[in-house]
Amino acid sequence: MSQFTSGFWDVFIAVVTIVSIVACALFLKSQSIRRKPGPADTTGHTWDEDLAEYNNPLPRWWSWMFYITIVFSLGYLVLYPGLGSWSGTLGWSQISQLDDEQQLAAKRYGPLYDKFAATEVDVLVKNPEALAVGQKLFLNTCAQCHASDGAGSRGFPNLADRDWQWGGEAKTIKDTITGGRTATMPSFGALGEQGVKDTAHYVRSLSGLSHDSIRKARGEGLFKANCMACHGAEGKGNPAMGAPNLTDRTWLYGSAEPVVIETITRGRSGQMPAHKDLLTEAKIHLLTAYVLSLSQQK
Amino acid sequence: MKQDMNLAELSLYEVRRKIYPRAVHGWFAGWRWALVWITQLVFYGGPWLTWNDRQAVLFDIVHRKFFIFGLVFWPQDIVYLAVLLIISALSLFLFTAVAGRLWCGFACPQTVYTEIFMWIERAIEGDRNARMRLDKGKLGGRKLGLKIAKHGVWIALSLWTGFTFVGYFTPIKELWSEALSFSFGPWEGFWVLFYGFATYGNAGWMREQVCKYMCPYARFQSAMFDKDTLIITYDRNRGEPRGHSHKHTLASSPYGDCVDCGVCVQACPTGIDIRDGLQYECIGCAACIDGCDQVMDKLARPRGLIRYSTTHAMEGKKTRVLRPRVLVYSAILLAITAAATASLYLRVPLKVDVIRDRAALAREVEGGEIENVYKLQIMNVTEQARAFEISVSGLPGIRVWGESTAGLAAASSRMVPVKVRVPPDAAARGNHPIEFRVEAIGADRISATERSVFMVR
């Protein structure tokens, strides 16, 4: 309601509403009695030469139905927000309704999650009932980025392999879901076009991909000077800071030479959002088990 | 009127004259009672039947499943409700064109419940004259007792009706134990009372006013009438001039067969005089026919002074039953009913929706193969647990990768992630139509196909 910056509109709405209701009641009253004694008047309209229309009041039961709607509307306006800024004696709002429903859901499904929360993750991984619930949570919450099968997509890590950017322990995974992760690969465009290309060839050589051996030799020095801090001397990465292992066959953004060049030139930034405010601890516990189960299937 | 002139303001609403229909017996009353029994045995008894260890007829709105004996309907089957409504409407049109307001007079709940309520009224307060006397009399112990008894029985029956109605939407046996311990949920309680109140108000108090003022069908049914429609008619040629005197017994009586006894008017639940001709208030209940036939029997005259007949017959012309509107209604009705029956019979108790993963377009996997990921929403509409085999077609070498079977509990739905792979170079860049097929293992009639798109980039 931020567009209503003054109290005027609240008052305006309340007045229009009240006046309309009162006017309806008065109009109804005027239509349910006849003004003149004697037999009914006609409206004075004539159709097809001799068809006239009686000017009769409304049937009584009909009038009463209208009066009931008026009483209802007054009761409604007292109980619910409707008159300007009046919030209603029941205190109802869309948010409060959502809260109520969520509380109800928490009460209804709480015991189920509590049962799972009390069980260790490595036991849950083998519990089909827990995994079925975990799968539903995963499809609702995680599948948008990590895909329905958990195998990820470009820029979103594959959770179904055994390669973990941040570590594959149950506790680490739980931390990742709870607090989120921010992975930043800084830009090394300063190395210059040739420098970047040389580095890219060295990086590709680490996982046995085709490369130019002269460029690789030149790139090795550049790698040691610029990349080692995060990716390690051997390029095996560092899960503590989310630096990917460059010697395996897993490529988050792609392994083709132009892609690697782009990664080095512009840097990359990955963001796993924190879920502690979106999911309960018990749900995160269950999701951890499900995510772990993805890579243990094969 | 004179007194009215003195009032400055006068309500012009015509206050309803209470109608005291006289009980009649006969062929049509018998049919009406037969239909009362049939419809009410079905209505009151229906929810107590059991099928497959569950309530046979249950409209489970909370879980969004409608059970009707062996059939389970899901929200996706809403089209059957539409078809049912179309069939009902067309039957109404057809019956109305052929025989007038058959529905109104014999099967409409308003008529049926009014009949039951009037039977109770008659059993407690007596027939027409006794009731009129009772209502005119002063309020004394006897009158109070009878009225309390009548309304007591009415309310009890109404509450039972409301209870039964709710029993179609929430398991009636649980509802019954809740009723015994006064622990209805708020909505159950509300609907029991609401439907009960509607029954009590409509069948006890409103009666013919519902038909005259509230029912939309009463207002448009005349559009379906023509001069060949069977209507309840008074045979003017035979009856007029009306009158009764000893001269009736003479062969040279100046009077027609109508002795103006007024039984037809007294029997009428909507308070009209059928001898004035067809009126929109007439619900076609044929109570006047039964009443008149009783009188004609006593007078040893042929029955049928008031009878089902057509305007054409009354005018001495030929009645045509098979006329274009009857044929058209019948043809459409037959076609839709046949189509609906066939569709129900052939209905596959399995539903599949394919939702392609939107964020992950296509990924390259080992050996340069292209992989797409889908979610299959599989709904097992049967009441047995089943396993389903998922396959895919549409591109050379296309196949489901990894788990390709899914188990589902009885009458449940599940989201199943499915990976689909094609060999490298199987398809050019772009979108390719593919088709999923889900088959119940061990029941080859139960299968469904659903189209989707495979992306290569």
Residues of B in contact with A136 (CB under 8 A): 415
Residue pair A73/A24 in contact (Cβ under 8 Å)? The answer is no
The counts of H helices and E strands in chain B are 16, 16
Is A149 in contact with B417 (Cβ distance < 8 A)? Answer: yes
- State whether residue A32 sits within 8 Å of chain B by CB: yes
Residues of A in contact with B4 (CB under 8 A): 37-38
- DSSP secondary structure code for residue A156 in this structure: B
Is B357 in contact with A143 (Cβ distance < 8 A)? Answer: yes
Q: Please provide the DSSP assignment of B24-48 as one string.
A: --SHHHHHHHHHHHHHHHHHHHGGG
Q: Which of B198, B41, B39 is nearest to B112 (CA)?
A: B39
Nearest CA in chain A to B214: A62
Is A58 in contact with B371 (Cβ distance < 8 A)? Answer: no
- State whether residue A13 sits within 8 Å of chain B by CB: no
Domain extents in chain B: 16-347, 350-456
What is the least distance, in Å, from the CA of A200 to any CA of chain B?
21
Does CATH number 2.60.40.10 belong to domain B350-456? yes
- State whether residue A38 sits within 8 Å of chain B by CB: yes
Helix, strand or coil for residue A243? strand
What is the least distance, in Å, from the CA of B360 to any CA of chain A?
5
Is A32 in contact with B11 (Cβ distance < 8 A)? Answer: yes
Residue B376: C-alpha distances to residues A29, A139, B353, B373, B450 (Å): 61, 11, 6, 10, 10
Identify the helix (H) or strand (E) that includes residue B439.
Answer: strand B430-440
What pTM was computed for the model? 0.73
Is B360 in contact with A152 (Cβ distance < 8 A)? Answer: yes
What is the least distance, in Å, from the CA of B190 to any CA of chain A?
17
Alpha-carbon Rg for chain B, nearest whole angstrom, is 32
What is the least distance, in Å, from the CA of A11 to any CA of chain B?
36
| Full pLDDT tens readout for chain B, 457 residues | 344 443 444 454 566 778 888 888 999 999 999 999 999 999 999 999 998 889 999 999 888 889 998 888 988 888 999 999 999 999 999 999 999 999 999 999 999 999 999 999 999 999 889 999 999 988 888 999 999 999 999 999 999 999 999 999 999 999 999 989 888 888 899 999 999 999 999 999 998 889 988 898 888 888 888 899 999 999 988 888 887 766 555 566 678 889 888 999 999 999 899 999 888 889 999 999 999 999 999 988 899 999 999 999 988 898 888 999 999 999 999 999 999 999 998 888 899 999 998 877 888 887 788 999 999 999 998 888 999 999 999 999 999 998 899 999 888 888 999 999 999 888 888 999 999 999 999 887 889 999 999 999 7
Is B358 in contact with A58 (Cβ distance < 8 A)? Answer: no
pLDDT in tens, A226-259: 999 999 999 999 998 899 999 988 889 988 899 9
Contacts 24+ apart (CB under 8 A), B193-199: B193/B159, B193/B162, B194/B162, B195/B161, B195/B162, B195/B165, B195/B166, B196/B155, B196/B158, B196/B159, B196/B160, B196/B161, B196/B162, B196/B163, B197/B158, B197/B162, B199/B113, B199/B157, B199/B158, B199/B161, B199/B162
Is A148 in contact with B417 (Cβ distance < 8 A)? Answer: yes
Query: Cα separation of B304 and B27, whole Å?
Result: 12
Residues of B in contact with A67 (CB under 8 A): none
Query: Is the ipTM here above 0.90?
Result: no
Helix axes B287-298, B27-45, angle to 10 degrees: 140
- State whether residue B3 sits within 8 Å of chain A by CB: no
A4-13, A263-272, B311-320: range with lowest mean pLDDT = A4-13
Is A135 in contact with B6 (Cβ distance < 8 A)? Answer: no
Nearest CA in chain B to A149: B417
- DSSP secondary structure code for residue B224 in this structure: G
- State whether residue B139 sits within 8 Å of chain A by CB: no
What is the least distance, in Å, from the CA of A250 to any CA of chain B?
10
Residues of A in contact with B359 (CB under 8 A): 144-145, 147, 153, 156
Nearest CA in chain A to B355: A148
Residue pair A27/A40 in contact (Cβ under 8 Å)? The answer is no
Residues 378-407 of B with CB under 8 A from A: 402
